[in-house]
Amino acid sequence: LPDGKRQPQRLSLDADTMTGTFDETAQPGTYTIEVTATSAGKLLGTAQAKFMVFDHDVELSNPAADPDQLARLADLTKAVGGKLIAPEQLAALLSQIKPPEMEIEVQTRWQLADNNRDAWLLFLSVVMLLTSEWVLRKKWGLV
């Protein structure tokens, strides 16, 4: 196998030829077949052959555009504005497409509290929470 593992295969006699199947070609790579022939326990000979399994994607077999298929897809989406255009018309179509007008509000200033009193109350609340958490952890022996 491509990862270096060896796997024995069974052969069967078909007329005057030994045949067998090899189903372990799921992973792409270089495979090696080694055949050892024996007769009555006596070695007659060995032979080796290599073959390669390619990672082949059937979908990419024909990368050319299929105009008939594109026309059928455009026809299916005609109700919602789908149409077939030639590649030469793409630049004109892109110039017609305009993004929707959106109003974007950018926040330039961020404030935690509206006035000093609110800021101090928020600060003291956070300090009290952290202090009480520390006191409870100390009391329970977790510190």
Indicate whether 12 pLDDT > 80.
yes
Q: Give me the pLDDT at residue 131, please.
A: 96
Token pair of 54 as six digits: 């390619």
pLDDT in tens, 56-114: 777 777 777 788 888 898 899 988 888 888 888 888 888 888 777 778 888 777 777 77
Within 8 A by CB and 6+ apart from 27, the residues are 1, 2, 3, 53
- Cα distances (Å, whole numbers) of residue 137 to 27, 31, 118, 123: 57, 65, 29, 21
Q: Give me the pLDDT at residue 17, please.
A: 83
Indicate whether 8 pLDDT > 90.
no
